[in-house]
Each structure stands twice: as C-alpha cells, then as structure tokens.
Amino acid sequence: MPTYTAPTRDTRFIVNEVIDLASYGNLPGFEMATPDVTDAVINEGGRFCAEVLAPINQSGDQEGCTRHPDGSVTTPKGFKEAFDQFRAAGWGTLSAPEEFGGQGMPHVLGMVMEEFISSANQAFGMYPGLTNGAVSALIAKGSQEQKEKYLHKMISNEWTGTMNLTEPHCGTDLGMIRTKAEPQGDGSYAITGTKIFISAGEHDMAENIIHLVLAKTPGAPDSTKGISLFVVPKFLVNDDGSLGERNGVMCGSIEHKMGIHANSTCVLNYDGAKGWLVGEENKGLAAMFIMMNAARLGVGIQGLSQAEAAYQNAVAYALDRRQGRALTGPADPNAQADPIFVHPDVRRMLMDAKAFTEGMRALCLWGALLVDLSHKAPTEEERAEADAMIGLLTPVIKGYGTDKGYDVATNMQQVFGGHGYIEEWGMSQFVRDARIAMIYEGTNGVQAMDLCGRKLAQGGGAAIQAFFKAVGDDIAAAKGDETLGPLAEALEKALGQHQASTMWFMQNAMQNPNHLGAGAHHYMHIMGIVTLGWMWLRMAKVAQAALANGTDDKAFYEAKLATARYYMDRFLPDAGALRRKLESGADSMMALGAEAFATAA
Amino acid sequence: MPTYTAPTRDTRFIVNEVIDLASYGNLPGFEMATPDVTDAVINEGGRFCAEVLAPINQSGDQEGCTRHPDGSVTTPKGFKEAFDQFRAAGWGTLSAPEEFGGQGMPHVLGMVMEEFISSANQAFGMYPGLTNGAVSALIAKGSQEQKEKYLHKMISNEWTGTMNLTEPHCGTDLGMIRTKAEPQGDGSYAITGTKIFISAGEHDMAENIIHLVLAKTPGAPDSTKGISLFVVPKFLVNDDGSLGERNGVMCGSIEHKMGIHANSTCVLNYDGAKGWLVGEENKGLAAMFIMMNAARLGVGIQGLSQAEAAYQNAVAYALDRRQGRALTGPADPNAQADPIFVHPDVRRMLMDAKAFTEGMRALCLWGALLVDLSHKAPTEEERAEADAMIGLLTPVIKGYGTDKGYDVATNMQQVFGGHGYIEEWGMSQFVRDARIAMIYEGTNGVQAMDLCGRKLAQGGGAAIQAFFKAVGDDIAAAKGDETLGPLAEALEKALGQHQASTMWFMQNAMQNPNHLGAGAHHYMHIMGIVTLGWMWLRMAKVAQAALANGTDDKAFYEAKLATARYYMDRFLPDAGALRRKLESGADSMMALGAEAFATAA
C-alpha cells in the first residue's frame, strides 16, 4: 500500500522563510499566525492527513461510492468517521471568517492544508473543498439572512456544499443552461432541471447539503447574461436552524469515473426544488466566478498534491528495488544489484518531480498570500495589485500545475516498472486521480484562454507588466552573485522567451484571434515554466542566505541550491521551444476542414 | 460507446505509395503482395477488426478476466468466439513462414494488421501478439523437432504462446532470475519457480499454451550469461501431435491492472514442469532478444494504435459537441453554439494527434519493411544494413512511439472535457490501455539506454551515420523545391540538433557514462521527432507528386501537405529544447544523494 508523509519541513521553509508570513503581522488575522502557531498548524495538520486520511485513500478507490434505490449515497468505509474527526478538529475552519465561526487565519494556512488533504486523499478532500467554494460565493453574494442561515454550519462542516453548473449538453458554455427557476411569489423559486458531474452531490457524511445552482428565470436572456445563482438546500432550514422537509433534489445516478472513486459525482435531478436567489438576478456568472476562482486554486494544488504523493512512493521504491548496476561501477558491490536510484534515467524522473513539487508549492503558497493581500492589504492600491496578480496567476496555477502534476504522477508510476501498472501498488490511482484536475473547474484549454484572452489584456496589460518587472527585478538583483548569478541568467533567457511571446500575441492576435487561441496553451506553459523558475530563484536566495548565516540544516539548503540548478537546466529550455511553436501561429493549425479529419476507408 | 474504423485509405497510401511495396517484388514472398492482394488484405483485415474486435473492447475492459479456484481463467464474453473467427480467417498466419503453415507474406502486412487489431482491442491483440513473439524465438533458436512440434499449431493460433521473463524481484535485470531448470536425464528439464506479469499466461481461448521460459540450469553463472530458454507446454504434446498430460504450470493469480483488463496477466507457478531447452544452454538472453525485438515493434505500434482509436472518437466528439463560438465569429450562426472543432486549442490537440498517428504509421510500416529486408534482401550487405537500421529504430519506435501515443490518447480524452473522465465514453480506457506500452517489453528508460548505450555505438556508429545520411539526402533533394523546401529546411535544423546531441555524447560519455544516461531519454525523443519529420518529408514528396500528376483524390494529398507543415511547425521545435537539456549533462541531475529525497517532517 502506498504511504504518505506531509512535507512539513519544506512547507515551513516556504511559509516562514520564503514568503515570510510573520512579516505580514500587520494584516487582520495574521497577528495570530505567529511562527509557533503556524508551525503547529502545519505539523498537526500534516499528521492528521497522514494518519487519518491517507490510510483510507486506496480502500476508498477500490470501494467507491454506492447509490441506493432511494437515491441516497453511501461513501466508502471509514469516510464518514474520518469526516467526523476532520470536523471535530476544526480543520475546515482554519481560514474562514471569524464572524461565521471560522478561525480567521491567513488563507496561506488553508492552502497548506488543502495540499496535505489532497495528497493524502483527493476524493475525500473534495467534500470540504467544494464546501469552501460554496462558502466563498455565499460570503461574497449572499444576503445577510442567507449568510446567517448557512455559513456557520457549512464552515463547521456540519453541512457540506456543492457547485451545480454543468448540464448534459453544456459545461464550458454556461449560456446554454436549461435549468429553470420559477418565482413562487413568496421570495422562493421552484428549480427544475438536470445537473451533471456534481462532486459531493449526495452522500452520508453530513446532515445537510447546500447546493448552489445556476438556473434561468423566466424570460432571462439566452446567454451568460441570463443566468442566476440559487441556494437550494437538500433539507430546508427552519428559522430556528433546525432541518425541515426534504427538498426536491435527488441523486439520479453516480458516475463511473477513471478516478476519484470515493467522491460521489452525481447526476442531480431538480424537480421543483425550493431555492432562493443569491445576489442579483441574471448576475449568476459573476457569483459563479467567485466560486470558480477559489476552486481553481484548489484544483491547481491537486496537481501538486498527486505529484507529491506519487513522488514519495517512487523515492521509496527507487531506494528499495534493485536492478542492474550504476553506469559508473557497482554502488553496492556486496549486493546482487544496485538500487535503481543509481540509474540516471530514474534520477531524472525523481529530480523532475522534486523540482516541480517544491517549486509549485512555493507558487501555490505565495498565490494564497496574494489572495489574503487582495482582501486584507492596507491600501486599495495594494489590494488591487494583489488581486490582479492572483487573477493572472490563477489559470497558470490551475492549468500548468495540473498538466505538469499529471506528467509527474505518470513518471512516478514509471519508476515502478511493471509494478506501477498493478493497482495494489497505488501508483495507478495517483495518475487516475490526477487526471481529473486537468479537466474540471474549466479544462486547461479554458484556463489558457482565460490567461491569454482575458487576463493578459486586463488593465492594459498591467498585471503581466507587473509580473515581468517583479521577475526582472529579482533577476537583476541576483545577477552579480557567484551562486545565484548563473541561475538568474538562465531565468533571464526564459523570461525573454516569455516577453517575446507576449509581444507576438500583441502584434498578431488583433489581426487574427485564432493566433491567440493557437498559442494559448503554449503560452500558459511558458508562463508556468518562468514562474516556477522565479520561485526557484527566490528559494535559492533564501537558501544561500541561510548557508551564509551558518544554519544547522546545511543539507536542506544545499539541496535547494542543487535543485534550483537542476530546474534551470532541465525545465527552462522548453520555454524556447514553446515560443517557436506559438510563433508559428494558427495557419497550419487551422488549415484543414472537418472532412480532412474523417477516417477514410 | 466508442467506435473504430480502420484507417485503410491512409494505410494503402503508405504501403502502396510511400514505401511502394510492389517495387520489392523480387523478394521472396513479396511477389504475392501485388497491389490488389495488398489492398484486399488491408481492407478485409480492417473490416474484421472494426466489426469483430472493436465491439468487445469496452465490455472486455469492464468484465476483465476471471480466475477460477482450479487455476483456470476465463476471458470476457465474446473473446473466445472472436478468437475462433480470427483463427478461422487465418489473420495470424499472414506473414508467418509457409514452411509452418503461414502465408509467407511481407511483414509489412502483418504490421498493418497489428495496428488495426490493437486499435480495435489491445487486450485481445496480445493473445496472438505474444504468440508471434514466441514463434519468432522458436523459428530462430528451436530445434527442427521443436519447430515441427509447436510452430504449425502456434501459427494457426490453435495454440497460443507466452514469454516468461519477469520474476517478483527482477524484471529488467534478468541476471537475477531464480527459476531453476534441473536436467532429468531424458533430455527434459524440471522447471521450478515463479514468473509474474505473464500476459496471456492462462486462458480459455486455445487448447494449449506454449510457454517460453527463462531459467537457470544447475551451476550456471550468476548473471545474464547463465540464463537458458525452455519451451514448457501447458499440455505435453505427444509425438503424434495430440495433447498429453497437464504440465506442472499453474496460474496462481491474475493481476488487477490499470488497463488491458481483458488480457489475463498471470502469476505462473512452475512446479517441476517439464521443459526442453531451446537453443544452447546459457544462451537464453540472445533467444530472448529475438522475442523482445519483435515484441518491441509490436508494442511501439500500440502507442500508435491507442492514439488512433482515441483520435477517431475525439474527432467525432469535436464535430458533434457544441460549446461557445469561434474566435473569428460564429461558424454556425443558426445554432446556439459552434462545434468545439472550431476552437484552436481543440484543433491543436486533433492536429497533434493526426500528425503523430500518420507519421508514426509511416515509420512503423517502413520499420516492418526493414525487418523483411533484414531477412530477405538479395545481398548480405543489404540485409546487414537493414538489420542495423531497424535495430537502431526499434527503441525509438517503442520508446518515443509509446510515450507520444500516451500523450495523444490523454489529449484526445481532454477533448471530451468532463465526459472524457467517465468510463462509459471509453476515452479513459484508451489512456489506461496505452499506459502499459511505456512499461512492458522494457520500460522506455531501458529503450533509451538500448538506443544510446548500445545501438549508437554499434559498428562504430555505422547505423546512426547511415540514418543521418539518408535523412540528409532527402533534405538536400527537397531543398530547392517551392513546396518541399520549407519543410526540408525546418527538418534540417532539427537534424542539426540531433547530430549535435550525438556529438555531445561522443565527446562526454567516455569521461562520465552518467552523461549518457542523463540524456538518453531526451536523445530518444529527439530522434523520434526527427524520424517522424523525415517520414513527413517523404509523405509530402509523394503527395506533391500525386497532385502534380492530377490525382482524383486532391483533398487527401493536400491534407498530407498541410499536416506536414503542421508537423514541422509544432513538433520540431522540441528537438532544440531537448538538446539543451541533454547538454546540461549529469551534474545537476546526480548531485543529490538519497537523503535529499527523504520527506522531512
């Protein structure tokens, strides 16, 4: 069975040293996050995930969820009990607002937990994860009455939440939804329609489920400008907070998926279910994007989390499994063979994983800090800057992070050779679970268009220019240094590819928007590569300083410098190739019509 | 349910026009392969696979194989009947030698069928596929008596074959095998040991199974120089060809795998089973490599086959599914949305798939011709040249072909959005089935080392020099041409990266062999990219000539030219990035010791 240990040392390095959370003590809530509190949260949270959630990950995959004839769904053995422990320990409340029973801690710490939870058990993590998305939308758009009715119990995880967007005929293009909301004259609406792919849509782990549902009111425009958001509880909630009658929303079936078997992915049938408008009529898309943006960061971290879990098991296997001899001569002459760890191609895959996961962790936690700053920074200008930066980075974290996370999980499975293909070893599950993250909350193609078609141009390109300046400043500061200089120079070249790609879009996309679409995916990857390179430069700088100051943990910081060098050697070169592809534009890509794709007999 | 149509038009293009099979009519067996016979085989073979094998692919995945308490295994519903039809139609005999009941046709046609079979039903194809591997070894190394005893019924598929290499503690490093072969004084040996991952190891589709088993005789050297090959029939075969007693080999269990569920992957327990030496004692490795080389080409084509099947379904979905509008304005203004085929990012994935599958098909079929030429070319020199070239290309076809085939299958699943993750649509199966091809018959890391550590250096680098010359000659011939010139110039740059990488290995690998190991995987991909580019240049040349000669099928040849352009735009740039990674060598890759990979708390 696969194992998992929360990478708490590395997390503390990023939280305490790289993003230096303590230096933001002036922000609301951050004053509580002193280093000792932060360390305790990281260590205890990591232990909870490793001890409670990881042991039921494989059994949950094997057993899956079961729908009963009455429409109820049971989760796999141990899930309900684990969720009880999760709720009792208050892990879901960490960075939720104190006003509704949360602990009000920085989102950074919430993000730390999201990684650990998802590494330990991605399918489990989706139950509180979707709840967080629904909570965000209600906080931003709900009425005071709705907030008071739902938020306390959702934040405490007594109830869970869902996001109901997709219908059988539409996912990305939400303007086409058909679910209807008929006003009932009493302030409520009757919701009727079918929603599919509803994660955590029905289960036995909480006493109520609060569905947030996109639907159309009568006469609404036939586009994304005509969709409204509704809150539809599984059980109606009485004014005293007690549960009332069962609402008209039922699980019609659960999907048979490639992975995340322990999460109940439901078809939900709404049959005149009672719902209430959240925010303004026909403004559902904006509310949905609040849920989506939170969810996209959470999904981005799933790319990291599956890569991390797969990596830990691949390291253990590579050190244990013996086949062949090191190319430079026997490493362990007394044994019949050397551990496969000695083989450069195995090391390549492990180093790729190490460089990706540690860089991605830095990016995700810095991204979470930007979320905090976008709400809590002292000035409007700082809040707006942070908001623009995290807006720009969100599709990169989601799209690049999950593409690369899947690649890494696949490579970690490869380390196991034939054993990697056998379900008992657990490596297949990491790959199968990682696969969904490239698809849900907007496919990675949608992320790429969000980045290139929306975020790049916003504010006259202010965010991307700020990004270039920040990376460029760090490069300039490092260039003269003996240790950091070579890293900075390598990154500078990749940044040049990124800037040139941006310029190419500016010069060509107006004339033919397909040029943008044809290069968007490549652009997202270029930006992912540069951004992780930047994180590595920042980590290397901290490591260098620690070594100069005479740290006790020399090996840790030296490994950071070595991994930074590996990253620059082996990740950055792709930026140039991707730029060349991007600059080939849409001509050859769009040259052929549908008939050229038919299989001719 | 997914569908499959054999790409017979494209196959005929390659067989008749690109490799021009008819021009080899002077070779033994090729005289039968006139264009009308070839076309009939392609068309009828394709129809058989689409009509008989494809319909039981998904049901086979869902049902899997069942082992019964007595050790017998039943295959999924319909498999036995399909194999009966396969046998009756003689599809397994196509390119087998006439001496043993085969049809003696070119291996090219056998390879055509391997692609179609594997696209339609990879798990099914492994039953005759493994048989082919065992047949190759017996033809090359078996005694006349063994050949007569086994080959007729194996070639006719009355019996199937297996390859027994792996044991629980060793796969790649076969020097460590422990299975024992004790001579019994009557010319037979008693085989005792445990073999794992034995594809088609036990099943109900044939009346006998002929196992080829690696084992050690008493006192054999404790290395690959001490392994011998044995033939161990499930039922002993009497001198009159009738079946005798059940031999001491039993299926202990079947593996739970990520994919290819319909193939029974067995643990086989040998308990004093009667076996006979094949070839010389302690020379089992050479015999095994005969099986392996045939099998590796067959596995390489699985990368193509899953990509092709996934591609066909993704095209259909992209033309049917409507979401959003073309960036250049509504393509179908009367409908609520455009087919997702209009979106550049969807087209990118489809064009990647098209450029890969068509290029890979050309490479595999040309590779099969080289196999034919290595046996049948008129002069010793020509046979040796063909043998060296296919030896060089085999790890590229297997390693690059299956890495890229998996990528393409993953992208085709991506085209389906959320539906791609649901098992009913069948896209998950293509990905899960494609995954094994990167692992078995030598992981792709082993392929990369076979290429860089063995094949490059063989004959003083004669094969790679011949490859460079052949590609360079085709580039030189095309460079002045208005249509072909730009393709050739793009390919020339990538060839330059390939040559520079080769040179870098020559200059650095002697000093530190880890430099070779650290770049081997990248080198294999560079060579794959260049080789497919070369195939595209050759196809473009044929297409250009057909258009100049006034073909009736203009659209087909124009699509070839457009796809060739796309290939050069979007595949070749990676060669430069891979070269830069390769040239960074082993230093940063091997810098860290085991302790740096431990997860620290």
Chain A CA closest to residue B170: A323
Chain A CA closest to residue B312: A599
Query: Which alpha helices (H) appear in A6-163, and where do they start and end?
Result: 8-12, 35-48, 57-63, 79-89, 107-141, 144-146, 152-155
A479 and A544 share a domain?
yes
pLDDT tens by residue, B146-200? 999 999 999 999 999 999 999 999 998 999 999 999 999 999 999 999 999 999 9
Of A418, A448, A513, the CB nearest to B345: A448
Domain membership of residue B72 (yes or no) is: yes
In this prediction, residue B137 has a pLDDT band, given cuts at 50, 70 and 90, of very high
A85 and A184 share a domain?
no
Please spell the DSSP secondary structure of A8-48, one letter per residue: HHHHHIIIIIIS-GGGGTTSTTGGG--HHHHHHHHHHHHHH
**Cβ of A448 and B577 within 8 Å?**
no
Residue where a domain stops, chosen among B141, B167, B198: B141
Domain membership of residue B463 (yes or no) is: yes
Which chain B residues are within 8 Å of A322, Cβ to Cβ? 169, 173
Q: How far is CA B379 from the centre of its chain?
A: 28
pLDDT tens by residue, B354-374? 999 999 999 999 999 999 999
A182 and A75 share a domain?
no
Of A258, A586, A600, the CB nearest to B421: A258
Residue where a domain stops, chosen among B141, B173, B191: B141
B137 and B165 share a domain?
no
Domain membership of residue B464 (yes or no) is: yes
CA distance B305 to B312: 11
pLDDT tens by residue, B299-318? 999 999 999 999 999 999 99
SS (H, E, C) B574-599: HHHHHHHHHHCCCCCCCCCCHHHHCC
Which chain B residues are within 8 Å of A592, Cβ to Cβ? 351, 559, 562-563
pLDDT tens by residue, B217-263? 999 998 999 999 999 999 999 999 999 999 999 999 999 999 999 99
B95 and B135 share a domain?
yes
pLDDT at A291 over 80: no
**Cβ of A439 and B414 within 8 Å?**
yes
Phi, psi angles (nearest 5°) of residue A179: -60, 130
Nearest CA of chain A to the CA of B187: how many Å?
31
B216 and B127 share a domain?
no
Q: How far is CA B4 from the centre of its chain?
A: 19
Domain membership of residue A235 (yes or no) is: yes
Interface test with B, best of A61, A305, A317, A347 (most B CBs within 10 A): A347
In this prediction, residue A288 has a pLDDT band, given cuts at 50, 70 and 90, of confident
pLDDT tens by residue, A314-365? 999 999 999 999 999 999 999 999 999 999 999 999 999 999 999 999 999 9
CA distance A96 to A157: 11
pLDDT of the residue at B294:
78
pLDDT tens by residue, B504-513? 999 999 999 9
A104 and A190 share a domain?
no
What's B192's domain CATH number? 2.40.110.20
Residue where a domain stops, chosen among A248, A267, A282: A282
A181 and A108 share a domain?
no
Which chain A residues are within 8 Å of B354, Cβ to Cβ? 597
CA distance A197 to A205: 19
* Catalytic residue from among B99, B441, B482, B492: B441
Of A560, A562, A559, A571, nearest to A497 by C-alpha is: A571
Which chain A residues are within 8 Å of B497, Cβ to Cβ? none
CA distance A350 to A119: 17
pLDDT of the residue at A19:
97
pLDDT of the residue at B600:
82
**Cβ of B573 and A576 within 8 Å?**
yes
Domain membership of residue B467 (yes or no) is: yes
3-state SS assignment for residue B479: coil
**Cβ of B573 and A577 within 8 Å?**
yes
pLDDT over 70, % of chain A: 100
- ipTM of this model? 0.98
Domain membership of residue A398 (yes or no) is: no
Nearest CA of chain B to the CA of A25: how many Å?
25
Domain membership of residue B198 (yes or no) is: yes
In this prediction, residue B293 has a pLDDT band, given cuts at 50, 70 and 90, of confident
A469 and A552 share a domain?
yes
SS (H, E, C) B42-58: HHHHHHHHHHHHHHHHH
pLDDT over 70, % of chain B: 100
**Cβ of B327 and A517 within 8 Å?**
yes
CA distance B306 to B410: 10
pLDDT tens by residue, A521-549? 999 999 999 999 999 999 999 999 999 99
Domain membership of residue B153 (yes or no) is: no
Of B422, B562, B580, the CB nearest to A256: B422
A188 and A124 share a domain?
no
pLDDT tens by residue, B39-49? 999 999 999 99
Which chain B residues are within 8 Å of A345, Cβ to Cβ? 445, 448-449, 517-518, 520-521
**Cβ of A439 and B448 within 8 Å?**
no
What's B91's domain CATH number? 1.10.540.10
pLDDT of the residue at B167:
97
pLDDT over 90, % of chain A: 96
Of B170, B255, B521, the CB nearest to A345: B521
pLDDT at A600 over 90: no
Active site residue B182: no
B502 and B580 share a domain?
yes
- Strands (E) located in A311-401: none
Cβ-Cβ pairs closer than 8 A, A with B, add up to: 286
SS (H, E, C) B159-220: EEEEEECCECCECCCHHHCCCEEEECCCCCEEEEEEEEEEECCCCCCCCEEEEEEEEECCCC
pLDDT of the residue at A347:
98
pLDDT tens by residue, A102-117? 999 999 999 999 999 9
Q: Which domain holds residue A576?
A: 448-588
**Beta strand pairing call for A180-183 and A249-254:** unpaired
The total domain count for chain B is 3
Interface test with A, best of B164, B173, B354 (most A CBs within 10 A): B173
A137 and A166 share a domain?
no
pLDDT tens by residue, A2-32? 999 999 999 999 999 999 999 999 999 899 9
